[in-house]
Chain A
Amino acid sequence: MLEIKDLQVKLEDEDKVILKGVSLTVEPGRVHAIMGPNGSGKSTLSYVLAGREGYEVTGGSATLDGHDLLDMEPEERAAVGLFLAFQYPVEIPGVGNMTFLRTSVNAQRRARGQEEMSSTEFLKLVREKAKDLAIDADMLKRPVNTGFSGGEKKRNEILQMAMLEPKMCILDETDSGLDVDAMKLVADGVNALRSEGRGFLVITHYQRLLNHIRPDVVHIMSDGRIVKTGGPELALEVETEGYGDIIEAGEPA
C-alpha cells in the first residue's frame, strides 16, 4: 500500500515550492489516476517518489508497505517494489537492452536475498513477456531505448515493469507521444499486470488513456495540491468541460 501524507516539496536550488501538501493512499489491486494541467506538479510527484535528486522534501511522508520511501536510495525503493515508468525513457547507448533487463532483475533479487536468475531462465521469461508486448528480438538486442520510436520506448517501460513485478507502479504520462494503436498495446500490457497485490498510480494529462486503463479513483491536481477526488466519471468530466471549472470549484475558499 502506498501512503502519501501531506507531502510538500520544493526545488533544491530555488525557492520554488511545487508540491503544497499532497495526500493519497493507493490500496493493493487498485488503480488511481492523477490528472491535471501542465505544471500542476504531477511529474514532480512521481520523481520525488522514485528518488530523483534536485528536490527537497520540506514536509509530509510517503511510505510503501510501511517502508519510508523518502529515506531510501532509488535502488532501495525499487527493491521494496516501487516502479516508475518514465514519461521520457532514457536512452543509454552502449548498454544492451537485454543486459540492462537482466542486471536490473538480478540486482533486485540480490537486494531481497533471492538467488540470481540464470541466463536460460531469464531468457525464457523475457522472450515470453516481450512477445505479449510485440517486442521483437531485435529490440531486445539494441542499446536501451536508443533509436527507439516513442511507442517502442513506452512498450519497453512496460516490459521492464513486467519483468520486475513491482507492487506499486507509477506511470508518468505513459500515453504521451503514442498513436492510438501503440496506446492500446501499452494499455493491454498494463491491464495484463493488474492483480490483487499490485497498485497503480496513472499520471496523465488526457482522459483517453483512461478509456483503456479503467481507474478506480481519479484525482485532479492543480498547483501542487489535489483539488478533487472522484470515480472514473471525473475523468469524463475533464474531457467534456476542461480543467478550468473543476479546479475553480475545488479551490479552497
Chain B
Amino acid sequence: MVARRELVARQRAEATEAWLDGRDLPAGGAWATTARREALVRLRTLGLPDRRDEYWKYTDPRSLTEREAPSAALFDPAGEPAMFHEIDRVKLVFVDGVFDAAQSDDPSLAGVEIERLAEASQADIHWARELFGVLEARGQEPVPRTLAAVNTAFAEDGVLIRVTGKAERPVSLIYLHNSETSDALLHHCVRLEPGAELTLLENGPGAARFCSVLEVDVADGARFNHVRTQGRDHERRAVTHVFARVGASAAFKSFTATVNGRLTRNEAVVEMAGARGLAHVAGAALGDGAFHQDDTVFITHAAEECETRQVFKKVLRNGAVGVFQGKILVKQAAQLTDGYQISQSLLLDEQSQFLVKPELEIYADDVKCSHGSTSGAIDLTQLFYLRTRGMPREEAEGLLVLAFLAEALEEIEDERLADDIRARLDGWLLRHRRA
C-alpha cells in the first residue's frame, strides 16, 4: 500500500513538473509576485489532479491538464442578439482570455472601482493582495482544487473590482472565443465593502480551453449577485472556480446556465463567515450528445443562523453526462444553520447519465439541513394532458423541460435577466427539436 501511495505521489509530482517545464510566472510588482509564488508552492504541493482523485471520480481532468489545449471549433450564433443585450451594463470584453479595450466600455461606474489585473499586478502594492489567491488558498482545504492554484500562479489578466456603494448597473464580463486553440486563464477579484451591492454578469465560452477564478469577498451587509451563461461552442472546455466569503447579514447569489460545451467543471466554494448571511448557488444545464457538465459545490457554515441553498437542474439527452457533487459542512459554532440542497436531472433518453454525490457533514446540534436528488424522465401523464390541449409532442416536451428548470431559474433575482436566460433555453429547445 505504502509503495503504491509513493508511486502515485511520484507520478503526480512528475506530471506536475512536466507541465511546469519551461513556464515562468508572469512578471509583476511585489504583491502579485508574492501571491503567484505562493500559488506555485501550492500547485507543487498538491500536484495536478487526475482520475485517481476522489474529487475527480466523475469527471476526467486530463483534457484540462494537458499542456496544449485541445482545439475547439468556433460557434456561429447566426445573427442572434448577444446575451444580456437589452441590459444596461458596463461591458468588459476579453478575447481568448485577453482584455480588449476597443470593444469594452469605459469602466466608470459610481461606487465601483474597476481595474485590469494585467495593469494592477505591476504595482508594488494593491488592495487586492488581501484577496488575490487568498480565498483560493483557503479553499484548498479539505479538498485540493489545484487548477485554481494554477490559475492564481499563471493568470495575467482579469479584473479587480472594489465596490463601495450600490452599483447602479451590472458589470458584464464578455468572453469571446476567436481562436480554435486558445488556452485562457482569467482571474477576477471582487471586494464588496460593508453595505455595498453589485451584480456581475459573465457570458461566453472565452476560449477553446478556459480556466477562471473569481474570488469574492462580501463584507457585512453587502449583496453580490452573479449571473453567468457559458458559451454554446460545442467543443469548448472550461473549468471555473468561484470562491466566496460571506460576511454577517450579507448575501451572495450565483446562477449559471450551461448550454453545450464538451466539458465544463464549475466549482463553487463558499464560506459563511458572519452570522445571518445568505448564499444561493444554482445552475441549469442543457446537454445534447458530447456534453459533460459538472457542478461541484462546497459550502461551509462557520457562523450562526446562515441560510444556504443549492439548486441544480440538468436536462440531458443523446448520451450527455451531468455531475453534481455538493457538500454542506456545518461547523460546531454554526448553530441554527438552514441548509438546503437539491439536484435533479431530466433524462430524455436511456443513454444519458446523471452522477451525484451529495454530502452533509454537521458538527452543530441545532441545525436544519436537507438534501435531495432525483433522476427522472418526462412525466407521461403531464405530456398526455398537454397534448390533449393541442400541443404537439415536441412542443409539450419543451414546455415540460422549461418547467423542470424553473426552480433553478427562480434563483435569479432580476426578472429581466431570468427572462433573457429563459428565452435562450427556449431557443435551444427549438433548435434541438429540429435536429
Is A36 in contact with chain B by the CB < 8 A criterion?
A: no
Q: Which residue of B lies closest to A105 (CB)?
A: B390
Picked from B381, B395, B402, B405, the residue with its CB within 8 Å of the CB of A107 is B395
- Does B404 sit at the interface, judged by CB under 8 A? yes
- CB neighbours (8 Å) of A104 from chain B are 386, 389-391
Question: Which of B382, B391, B407 is in CB contact (< 8 Å) with A90?
Answer: B382
Chain B residue with the shortest CB-CB distance to A108: B390
User: How far is it, in angstroms, between the C-alpha of A30 and the C-alpha of B405 when the chains are bound?
Assistant: 44
User: Are B385 and A107 within 8 A (Cβ)?
Assistant: no
Which of A37-45, A71-79, A194-202 is the contact stretch?
Answer: A71-79
B385 touches A160 (CB 8 A): no
* A127: Cβ under 8 A from any B Cβ: no
Q: Are A75 and B404 in contact (CB under 8 A)?
A: no
Given contacts A75-B391, A78-B388, A103 and B399 within 8 Å (CB-CB):
yes
- Least CB distance from A203 to B in Å reads 15
Contact between chains at A94 and B407 (CB < 8 Å): yes
Cross-chain contact A74 with B387 (CB below 8 angstroms): yes
Q: Give A96-120 as 1s and 0s: 1 = Cβ < 8 Å from B's Cβ atoms.
A: 0001100111011001000000000
A48 beta carbon closer than 8 Å to chain B = no
* B407 surroundings in chain A (CB, below 8 A): 94
Bound together, the chains give a CA A85 to CA B72 distance in angstroms of: 51
Interface size for B (C-beta < 8 A) is 23
Q: Which residues of A contact B389 (CB under 8 A)?
A: 78, 100, 104, 107-108, 160, 164
Is B393 an interface residue, CB under 8 A from the partner? yes
A93 at the interface (CB under 8 A from B): yes
In the complex, what residue of chain A is closest to B391 when comparing beta carbons? A107
A214 at the interface (CB under 8 A from B): no
A52 to B381, CA, bound (A): 9
Determine if B384 and A52 form an interchain contact, defined as CB atoms under 8 angstroms apart: yes
Residues A164 and B390 in contact in the complex (CB < 8 Å), given A93-B403, A95-B400, A103-B395: yes
| B110 adjacent to chain A (CB < 8 Å) | no
Which residues in A have their C-beta under 8 angstroms from that of B384? 50-53, 74, 90
Q: Which residues of B contact A93 (CB under 8 A)?
A: 403, 406
Residue of A nearest to B405 (CB): A94
* A86 x B385 contact (CB < 8 A): yes
Residues on A with C-beta less than 8 A from B395 are 103, 107
0 or 1 for each of B351-395: is its CB under 8 Å from A? (1 = yes)? 000000000000000000000000000001110111111111101
User: Judging by beta carbons under 8 Å apart, are B387 and A94 in contact?
Assistant: no
Contact B406 A75 (CB under 8 A): no
**Cβ 8 A contact of A84, one of B380, B381, B388:** B388
Q: Tell me whether B403 and A51 are in contact (CB under 8 A).
A: no
Check if B390 sits within 8 Å of A95, measured CB to CB. Answer: no
User: 8 Å CB contacts to B: which residues of A125-175?
Assistant: 143, 160, 164
A sample of 8 cross-chain residue pairs with beta-carbon separation below 8 angstroms, ordered by A number, consists of A51-B384, A75-B387, A78-B390, A89-B385, A90-B382, A93-B403, A94-B402, A107-B392
> Which B residues are CB-close (under 8 A) to A105?
390
User: A73 touching B399 by the CB < 8 A rule?
Assistant: no
Q: Indicate which residue in B382, B390, B405 contacts A111 across the interface (CB closer than 8 Å).
A: B390
Residues of A within 8 A of B400 (CB): 92, 95
Smallest CB separation, B388 vs chain A (Å): 5
Q: Are B388 and A51 interface neighbours, CB within 8 A?
A: yes
Inter-subunit contact B403/A75 (CB<8 Å): no
Most buried by B among A77, A89, A90, A164: A90
* Chain A residue at minimal CB-CB distance from B395: A107
User: What is the CB-to-nearest-CB distance from A145 to chain B, in angstroms, rounded to a whole number?
Assistant: 9
Shortest CB distance A214–B (Å): 26
What is the bound-complex CA distance between A194 and B400, given in angstroms?
A: 33
A86–B386 Cα distance when bound, in Å, is 12
Most buried by B among A74, A79, A95: A74
Closest partner residue, chain B, to A86 (CB atom) = B385
Pairwise interchain contact A92-B385, C-beta atoms closer than 8 A: yes
Q: CA of A95 to CA of B403 in the docked complex: distance in angstroms? A: 5
Contact check, B385 vs A75: say whether CB atoms are below 8 A apart.
Answer: no
Given A75-B387, A103-B395: A53 and B404 within 8 A (CB)? Answer: no
* Bound form: Cα–Cα A28–B399 in Å: 33
Chain A min CB distance to B398 (Å): 10
